[in-house]
Amino acid sequence: MRERRIGMRLQVGPVDRVRDMQAGMRDRLLMSVRYGGPAAGVQDMDHPFVDVPTPVLCGEPRLESWIASDPVTRFRRGDLAWAEDGQALFGCRSHRIGDDMEQDALTACRDLLSLLDERGYPCLQRIWNYVPGINEDQQGVERYKRFNIGRARGFEERFGAQAERHYSASSAVGAAGDHLIVCFAAAREMGTHLENPRQMSAYHYPAAYGPHSPTFARGTVTPEAWGRAFFLSGTASVVGHRTTHVGDPLGQLDEALANIDVMLQRSSTAPCDRGGRVRLDLLKIYIRHPGHYPAIRDALAARLDPSTPSIYLLADICRANLLLEIEGVRL
Ligand code: 3EB
């Protein structure tokens, strides 16, 4: 009989409600991320747990938990926590930043990629970056640009000329506090990293966006053994390499959704319900200005299957003229 792999699950919602749902399955928890709580970093818990102190716009703090189909093995090493289930590795790292974001990003990327190598899960599927003061200058260069230089060096150190093949789905948004927080998911086999023909590959962006381009793919379909989940990268109002609808949040929302439509089609995960609305297992919407939240929420509600769990977060976006960014997961 062929082995059938039941995929992993994702639970999302207000913290207490998700905790209640988890009774009896705590030994299967791969990772939890709490949004809107204290700036407390990686917590001492029975499983990898990190606080992302990004304010929640849609109410009380939210919990996002990844649950395997069988009991998992957990590890903790300094500011790194991770869990493995034999096919997937989930983890988080939270590290106080110094005065050089390039160095901070390099160390984060190096730690993470060498851990994946050491544990035998060398294939990155998704990385979530929370970067303090992402749009602030540091010695005359925006922190996000310095972050990109360090991250690119980390990939080059590990993969050399092959680095581009390993860029996975990603997001990089601002965060409160003074810790660079990185959450990640990896597999034993390569995922399929996807690009969007409406957008220039970020790793080919012209030098105007910084001395080293961002090193990520627009989306990643995980390998068969994982059950072919789809990770949608942070998706914004970028066409080609340019920001469109500058100053217009609803225009940016439409453009981001047009980019998302293309990615859902390319990932060939049944993308929409019968009304042509987006259905995913998680959608996270980062909004720069709290005043834009009600209009964005209402406009998105019309385009979203109501069964899609969503979290609205207040965060700076990596380009100063981007007002929102949307990421998603389809299991
Ligand atoms: C963009 O399209 C918007 O630096 O990892 C989206 C997703 C963006 C990921 C990253 C940045 C990142 O360029 C920004």
Q: What is the pLDDT of residue 5?
A: 52
Residue 4 has pLDDT above 80, yes or no: no
Closest CA to 233 of 327, 144, 317, 164: 327
Q: Which residues contact 118 (CB under 8 A, 6 or more apart)?
A: none
**Using an 8 Å Cβ cutoff, are 148 and 210 in contact?**
yes
pLDDT in tens, 10-51: 999 999 999 999 999 999 999 999 999 988 899 989 999 999
How far apart are the C-alpha atoms of 330 and 270, rounded to whole Å? 9
Q: Report yes or no: 261 and 326 within 8 Å, Cβ to Cβ.
A: no
Q: Which is the closest atom of ligand 1 to the Cα of 205?
A: 13
> How many C-beta atoms surround the C-beta of residue 217 within 10 A?
25
As beta bridge partners, residue 314 has 287
What separation in Å is there between the alpha carbon of 325 and the centre of ligand 1? Answer: 9
144: Cβ contacts below 8 Å, ≥ 6 apart: 131, 134, 135, 172, 210, 318, 319
Q: Is 223 helix (H, G, I), strand (E, B) or coil?
A: coil
State residue 277's pLDDT score: 81
CA-closest candidate to residue 117, choices 195, 32, 184, 213:
184
Does residue 1 carry a pLDDT above 60?
A: no
Predicted pLDDT at 268:
82
> pLDDT-derived band of residue 3, with 50, 70 and 90 as boundaries?
very low
Q: Which of 149, 183, 318 has most ligand 1 atoms within 8 Å of its beta carbon, as the pocket-test mutant?
A: 318
> What pLDDT score was predicted for residue 39?
86
Give me ligand 1 centre to Cα 235, in Å.
Answer: 7
Instruction: Return d(Cα 126, Cα 194) in angstroms, integer.
Output: 12
H or E segment to which residue 72 belongs: none
Query: Any residues with CB less than 8 A from the CB of 4 and at least 6 apart, and which?
Result: none
Query: Mean pLDDT, the chain, as a whole number?
Result: 94
- Residues framing ligand 1 (Cβ under 6 A): 129, 170-172, 202, 214, 216, 233-234, 236, 238, 318
- CA 93–ligand 1 middle distance (angstroms): 20
Among 29-38, 77-86, 128-137, 261-270, the minimum mean pLDDT is found in: 261-270
Helix (H) or strand (E) holding 257: helix 249-267
- Catalytic residue list contains 325: yes
Instruction: Indicate whether 274 pLDDT > 70.
Output: no
Nearest to 205 by CA among 38, 297, 318: 318
| Structure confidence at residue 228 as a pLDDT band (50, 70, 90) | confident
Catalytic member of 102, 195, 325, 327: 325
Best mutation site among 180, 205, 233 for ligand 1 pocket (most ligand atoms within 8 Å of CB): 233
Q: How confident is the model at residue 6 (pLDDT cuts 50, 70, 90)?
A: low
Quick check: 105 pLDDT over 80? yes
**Which strand (E) or helix (H) includes residue 93?**
strand 88-96
d(CA 18, ligand 1 centre) in Å: 29
Q: Tell me how far apart the alpha carbons of residues 91 and 30 are, in angstroms, rounded to a whole number.
A: 8
Reduced to 3 states (helix: H, G, I; strand: E, B; else coil), residue 118 is: helix
The ligand 1 atom nearest the CA atom of 216 = 5
Note whether 160 and 154 are within 8 A (CB): no
Say if strands 169-175 and 123-132 run parallel, antiparallel, or are unpaired: parallel
* CB contact at 8 A, 263 and 194: yes
Cα distance between residue 99 and residue 297, in whole Å: 36
| Confidence (pTM) | 0.96
Q: Which of 109, 129, 171 to mutate to test the pocket of ligand 1 (most atoms within 8 A of CB)?
A: 171
In sequence order, the β-bridge partners of residue 124 are 186
Coil, strand or helix: which one is 67? strand
Atom of ligand 1 lying closest to residue 202 CA? 13
Mean pLDDT in residue range 83-90 = 97
CA distance 293 to 308: 18
Give the Cα separation of 203 and 65 in Å (integer). 30
Summarize the confidence of residues 308-320 as an average pLDDT: 97
pLDDT (tens digit per residue) in 234-263: 999 999 999 999 999 999 999 999 999 999
The amino acid present at 28, given as its one-letter code, is R
Residue that the structure tokens 């293309």 belong to: 262
pLDDT for 103 beyond 70? yes
Cα(202) to centroid(ligand 1), Å? 7
The tens digit of pLDDT for each residue in 168-216 reads 999 999 999 999 999 999 999 999 999 999 999 999 999 999 999 999 9
